[in-house]
Structure 1
Amino acid sequence: MAQNTYEHGDDANEDIRPYCYIGQHDSARSETLSDLQYGQVLNAGFSFVTTPVTNEHFRQRVTELASRSISELDKSEIPSCHPDPIVPPLTTEDTSLFPSPTTGGLIAYSSPWLDLCSGNAAVSSISRQVLNLEIAYANFCGVRTIVIPGPRQDSIKAGNHQGVAQYARAIQEALVIGTRLNFVIHLPMYREPGLEEQTDVLSTTVLGENGDRSQPQGEEIDIFSSWDTWHTIRSVCEYDSRLFAAVRMPRMLPGNEVQTRWFSEPVQYLTFGPKSFQTNKAGYPSLTKRHQDMIMTYMRLKIAPYFMLYDVGPEVKAIEEQIEQLAAEEFPTLSQAAQQPKKHNHKTIELNRYASYLRYVESQQQPVSALEQATLTNFQDWLQSPLQPLSDNLESVTYEVFEGDPVKYNQYELAIGKALADWSHQRKPTSSPTGAVVIAVAGSGRGPLVTRALRASENTGVPVQVWAVEKNPNAYVYLLRQNQMVWGGRVTVVKTDMRAWKGPIVGGTADQPEHGQVDILVSELLGSFGDNELSPECLDGIQHVLAKPHGISIPESYTAHLSPISTPRLHADISRRSPMDPNAFETPWVVRLFQLDFVAQRVPSHERFQQAWEFVHPLPQSTMDRIEARRSGGVVGGGGGSMAGGVGANDHNSRHCHLTFVCRDRGVIHGLAGYFESVLYRPHASNKELVELSTLPDAIDKKSKDMISWFPIFFPLKQPLYFPPDSELEVSMWRQTDDTKVWYEWTVEAFMWVSEAQRVKVGASEMCSSRQVACLM
């Protein structure tokens, strides 16, 4: 039997896997299911069912109205002045959908015969009115979601953009009417023949036009045209948070470029018809390995799409007959019961084969790790304001989140251990009279790096003297307790801003102490973009305590990297925030980017992720001397600095980059994704590997696998930037400073080649600036 074909395994309950919801849709259904029919469909393995809002009686009424209106319009003396026909209100004969306890569990499906894209004014007006009637009535009945069949032809076809624009305008109006509804536009992933609605549209019925505007056989298929139509609709509707897409799955999946494009969109349903499946050797429906991989990718989303099976059964009539047969067997009359022998082979309704197969695919997913459950999944595409570590004192829970990542601290411990081993091997002089290597942890927080420094000393056998420097008075108390309870008094805790610290006390008196230097300076001041939490400025300020010439900074260097991305969900989220937060679109947000599309291609000399700039520590002494001269007013001519209001003391930390990204396929970008890489320590021996950290998607597994301490940073654009095929995106970004704060400015331009030697600009974003939310020094 079908339900026994795909086994979940005995240990399925031991692992936590994402759960999928499977719905049933019948494109030929014209009446709402009765409660009994609804229950039987659920028993066949489905979680929800679709229902039409109106029936065939209403369709006939509307068709007659459309025919009369077109006839009157043809006879009108001045057609442009002829009033549009008015669709009468619904009656009890027009619908079988009524408010009930089960209505909230139904998914409404708008009439597929509507032709919102029709070039005939009467037909398009009637279709729009009918849609509004269905929306208003579904909203009244308590339905929460309505699926609306999308246009049957895309705007990429010459002369058809008016139709898609009309459709988008109708959806925009419907959103105002259905205030409590979520709207789902049903579109194919691409125009594979056979994926469209089979019902004739209104223009075909009353005008005899070819209403099937699907892809003609033999014609080349544009695999992005369906997405183009969706982009037009949601752009007209201004990325409304109640507007979603339902994607019809083709039998042949396109390339990853199309799949990732749809993955970045707010997809509410993945819909599968009989043509999406193939038959396996046992005669049961199955999906290709690529389909299964795609499903598993979607299932890792925090809000995963539902699955909808259409036109694959079960047949409602067959269910009714089976129910009658079961009723006759289970509830005979008293006389019949006395005459019939007892039966034990009662028939039951079988699970739907297609739903059973999707349950099998669900069971084949990798279990969700404990880390994903607790941290990563909850943070998917969740906007967080960047930290202000210098101007704000962080709370203990914030430190605790950082400390929950063992990978980062393992790398730091490895870097400190190698630095100590090299120091001992090279017999470098130390800054301590006892011969111990002096380590200072700048910005100690709750002390995880201090613990790792002590452990590295124990593992290498190199004695150390550790100083923990922290400005947060609350964290300072915690560090003192750690020194008593965990470190055994081996650490000297100092409460001060690291930039004001004069170094370890090596002698003198309480009033006039003598300060020494530090051999190894360790810090974890890196932000999501490397420098966005003022690591350069902080390490510049404490560099004076580093011993010369042997002093070591961990990290030694870090680089910032960028890539343009499409992320409609984040754009919609920021749009909702912007009325209350005028700086929402000019804030660099920290976010675990997950549901996105990297639009750039990997081509020679133009990588998908490109380096914006680099910072190196410690700085040359000549640079430090110039900084001090500017700060003290010793620059000839006064020195105004690169920004008005400053003396230029921090100009050496300003940066600028201009990057070119190549985009083969057309698309839209909503901002820039920012990442960083860092060299914590470079071993003395050239044949030894660097100790590194990386958040780059294509390098993190090699350099710091499973590290979660830093989520990427997102630089949004105020308006989405659409670009045509074979475009180049020019990204310009600046790291600006006026000696009191640091901020970023960014802009993107799109160019298209028109000849071998000439490009034309086809679009550009506004200049964005985070100056109003700058990081304070």
Structure 2
Amino acid sequence: MDSPHNTGDMMPVFYIGQHETTRSLPVSDQVLRQAQDCGYDMLTTPITTPHFHASVLSLLTSYNQNHVDGLSDVHQAMPIVPPLKPVDTPLTPSDTISQMIAVTSPWIDLASPDPLIAHLSRQVFNLEIAYAAFCGVMTVLVQGPRLHHGLLHSQGLSQYARAIKEALTLGSYLQLHLLMPMIDNPDSEDGEDLSNLARFARGEYVETHNGKEGRPTDQLGTWDAWNVVRSVCNYSTRLSVALNLPRRLPAIGVQSRWYSEPLRLLCLPASSFLVNARGSFVLSKPHQLFISRCMRLRNAPWILLTDIGPIPGINNPDLILPFSTGILSPGDAADAPSPRSSLSRSPTPAESAQLANQVSRKSKADPTPHLSYIRYLQRNQPPKSIIERFGGGFQDYLQSPLQPLTDNLESITYEVFEKDPVKYDWYERAIAQALRDWKTEGKSTSSTNGAVVIAVVGSGRGPLVTRAIQAGHDAGVQVEVYAVEKNPNAYVLLQRHNEEDWRGLVTIVKTDMRAWKGPLLPNGSHGRVDILVSELLGSFADNELSPECLDGVQHVLNQQHGISIPASYTAHLTPIAAPRLHADIIARFAADPNSFETPWVVMLHQIDYVSTQEPAPQPLTEVNGTRQNQPKVETPLLPDVQTAWSFMHPCSPSVLAQSNVRRGGSASGGGGGATGGDGANEHNTRFAKLSFRCNERGICHGLAGYFETVLYDGIGGKIELSTNPVTMERKSKDMISWFPIFFPLKVPFYAPENSELDVSMWRQTDDRKVWYEWLVESFVSMGGRRVRLGLSDLHSSKSNGCLM
């Protein structure tokens, strides 16, 4: 039942199941077919029956009656749960079992501080997991850990985590989904079934809660518990979250935290639905937005409708219902009332009676109203953005960085870059503006005929060459264009373009740009270039050796008026939580021991930002001459993205002169580079120390890297590109050429509330290659002092650095 990857222009596919917490009938083939006829894709089934539950309770009662006072449990024989009998389980191996989600007993308590209850619970759990695996079940829904036992909190969480890890070994192919509420609300556990084993925990192990003082709700309490369990299970890819959505969703920050986790099920209980004015079941706008966001994940979660009533017609095998199409009238599908409406809260008895009549009439027309509404949402998902359409198959997919100086790229690689709808337009604008300013300022050119000489270095398949020619036409300036490319295969294509598209206006040069001596003049000497255009930037700006390449070709640039496009670029960092990426790297580690020391290029999607800041306040608007605030809407917090370092071009001539002196190891060049080599490239090393505030507790799996670049800064202002999520919308909206870079951590870093993460980042070189090193420290303030909580390994990508 794996969901397909959402790629291209396909709309998200909703896989919808039905779950009854107290399912009375076994899920037979006939029941499953009836559910499918109603429009469901799957059903849940309990692994054991009420008969088995009763037998375990009898065993517990018998043990307690025979308990010898004064003897601890370790000195007595603990009760043994007997093997399952046919009367204890409705499951049996079948062809349709793959269309069912097995549910472990919700009445056990694996986290109980009472060793007797924990012992019985583990036996029941292991019996159910082993039998489900035997029957061929692939997906198991497991009740999340009980966090409160009287006044004790999370006392048995480690026991629960160990039980889950053991279950993953019992069922080698099982996918375990832990049913977790979005927030930790202690009072919600008090309403559980009276036959739950947690109710029988003995007083000496549980600090009884007197119920007079309310226990506070912890917004991130259940996430904390999940983090412990999956950490103990070493981020197993067979362990994921079944998230129970409450009637009122928590703050967006909490939603984003869960969104970054491996969501496999979204559970919608009947209590999460509201009833609109027409008596139809609907979800609030925040629920719709959260579901829509989750359904755009690379692996979209399934939806599980919980306790919304039995499957219609289940007692009448001859009743076949039409498939739920999700085609609703506008009135039926209308959003729920506003938060100020009385219907947004729990209705009064009078309102309930009135609504019951409306709902009853609706149910006669639609026997599956909840399902119909979810199908309606499926059919009316908002269209995908440009970035989503382009990168649907690349979300959270790890890619090794390119080695453009040592590898000759394939045509398909160039083609992917050229699909960008923004980058090349912005480059053309930058070149055209530079030409206009050149003309306005009356600068002299490097050509003999007064044309401005433009060289596109690293021209690939030639998109920037085309834009340079067009920019000359737009600016009304005569240009002389050179295309410099070392790739012999791309060189063939460039010549064809020159013959068929550029009408022989371009001079094609096959060479490494650093070895090019400049335009060849009629007298056999070499001239200079007025405007040097390149697209050598990588995901972190300088990770594909743009500084080294442009330093190497700068000798051909007009020393008086020469312009480099881009003129400068900056690298940016922020810590992120990326559980999916961390799990993927763990899976790669056995085959690639350097996987945790590789800066990965990745389209970051299912992540959460560890350090955030409030967005800028919304501007005031005027209505009838009166300035008014915009309606208050909860907006996502912005990531705290900080600048690590920058590069500017052309580089200072004195810096390059010193670099040339050091090259070759002459005495005047000093004692060599700090990390090896002559030190000729040491001017391109960088170091940054950045501090990030963590207002909420969370976990850091690594660092996300972005860049901003000024292509040209002239009379008309700056023309910029950005992958920085804070500035991209403003500077280069919908640009898709560059995915961010991810610097992973071998061991995830826990950041307590109101702590700080200090990030140290180096760009290193030994004249043969360039690599990065990174280190993270965690601090809290105590008694006016900054106390270090932890220190990561010093990670280094030297073994797979970018070769020069």
TM-score (structure 2 length as normaliser): 0.87
Contact map agreement 1:192 1:215 (CA 8 A) in 2: no
Contact map agreement 2:37 2:320 (CA 8 A) in 1: no
Match of 1:763 in 2: 790
TM-aligned CA deviation for residue 129 of structure 1 = 1.4
Match of 1:10 in 2: none
Match of 1:204 in 2: 199
Q: How does 1:106-145 map to 2 (within 5 A)?
A: 106-145=100-139
Match of 2:476 in 1: 461
Matches of 2:164 and 2:283, distance apart in 1: 33
Q: How does 1:25-64 map to 2 (within 5 A)?
A: 25-64=19-58
Matches of 1:298 and 1:227, distance apart in 2: 17
Match status 1:355 vs 2:371: yes
Q: Which amino acid aligns with 2:787?
A: V
Match status 1:726 vs 2:754: yes
Contact map agreement 1:192 1:250 (CA 8 A) in 2: no
Match of 1:330 in 2: none
Contact map agreement 2:267 2:303 (CA 8 A) in 1: yes
Q: Which amino acid aligns with 1:680?
A: L
Q: How does 1:510-525 map to 2 (within 5 A)?
A: 513-525=524-536
Matches of 1:478 and 1:213, distance apart in 2: 77
Q: How does 1:310-709 map to 2 (within 5 A)?
A: 310-313=306-309, 315=310, 319-323=313-317, 350-368=366-384, 372-373=388-389, 375-508=390-523, 513-602=524-613, 608-636=640-668, 638-643=670-675, 645-683=676-714, 685=715, 688-709=716-737
Matches of 2:571 and 2:26, distance apart in 1: 57
TM-aligned CA deviation for residue 590 of structure 1 = 0.1
Runs of 5+ unmatched residues, structure 2: 1-7, 322-362, 617-637
Q: What SS does structure 1 have at the residue aligned with 2:438? A: helix
Contact map agreement 1:18 1:368 (CA 8 A) in 2: no
Q: Which amino acid aligns with 1:591?
A: V
Contact map agreement 1:445 1:475 (CA 8 A) in 2: yes
Aligned pair in 2 of structure 1 residues 324, 435: CA closer, same or farther (>3 Å)?
closer
Q: What SS does structure 2 have at the residue aligned with 1:507? A: coil
Q: What SS does structure 2 have at the residue aligned with 1:61? A: helix
Q: What SS does structure 2 have at the residue aligned with 1:123? A: helix
Of residues 223, 229, 232, the one that matches 2:219 is: 223
Aligned pair in 2 of structure 1 residues 47, 320: CA closer, same or farther (>3 Å)?
closer
Aligned pair in 2 of structure 1 residues 158, 557: CA closer, same or farther (>3 Å)?
farther
Matches of 1:637 and 1:408, distance apart in 2: 40
Q: What SS does structure 1 have at the residue aligned with 2:155? A: helix
Which string of whole-angstrom CA distances, capped at 9 and with x for unpartnered residues, describes residues 518-564 of structure 1? Answer: 00000000000000000000000000000111000000000000000
Contact map agreement 1:191 1:214 (CA 8 A) in 2: no
Matches of 2:269 and 2:111, distance apart in 1: 24
Match of 2:259 in 1: 263
Q: Which amino acid aligns with 1:186?
A: L
Quote the sequence identity (%): 52
Q: Which amino acid aligns with 2:307?
A: D
Q: What SS does structure 1 have at the residue aligned with 2:88? A: coil
Q: Which amino acid aligns with 1:663?
A: C
Aligned pair in 2 of structure 1 residues 604, 194: CA closer, same or farther (>3 Å)?
closer
Match of 1:282 in 2: 278
Contact map agreement 1:63 1:205 (CA 8 A) in 2: no
TM-aligned CA deviation for residue 349 of structure 1 = 8.9
Contact map agreement 2:41 2:99 (CA 8 A) in 1: no
Q: What SS does structure 1 have at the residue aligned with 2:44? A: strand
TM-score (structure 1 length as normaliser): 0.90
Q: What SS does structure 2 have at the residue aligned with 1:582? A: coil
Which string of whole-angstrom CA distances, capped at 9 and with x for unpartnered residues, describes residues 487-523 of structure 1? Answer: 1111111111111111110133xxxx31010000000
Q: Which amino acid aligns with 1:45?
A: G
TM-aligned CA deviation for residue 41 of structure 1 = 2.5
RMSD: 2.6
Match of 1:88 in 2: 82
Matches of 1:15 and 1:413, distance apart in 2: 29
Matches of 1:352 and 1:661, distance apart in 2: 49
Matches of 1:535 and 1:213, distance apart in 2: 64
Q: How does 1:231-270 map to 2 (within 5 A)?
A: 231-270=227-266
TM-aligned CA deviation for residue 479 of structure 1 = 1.0
Of residues 157, 160, 169, the one that matches 1:167 is: 160
Match of 1:339 in 2: none
Aligned pair in 2 of structure 1 residues 214, 572: CA closer, same or farther (>3 Å)?
farther
TM-aligned CA deviation for residue 427 of structure 1 = 1.3
Aligned pair in 2 of structure 1 residues 130, 469: CA closer, same or farther (>3 Å)?
same
Matches of 1:213 and 1:18, distance apart in 2: 46
Match of 1:344 in 2: none
TM-aligned CA deviation for residue 412 of structure 1 = 0.6
Which string of whole-angstrom CA distances, capped at 9 and with x for unpartnered residues, describes residues 367-392 of structure 1? Answer: 2357634x311000000000000111
Aligned pair in 2 of structure 1 residues 739, 264: CA closer, same or farther (>3 Å)?
same
Q: Which deviates more, 256-265 or 698-707?
A: 698-707
TM-aligned CA deviation for residue 45 of structure 1 = 3.2
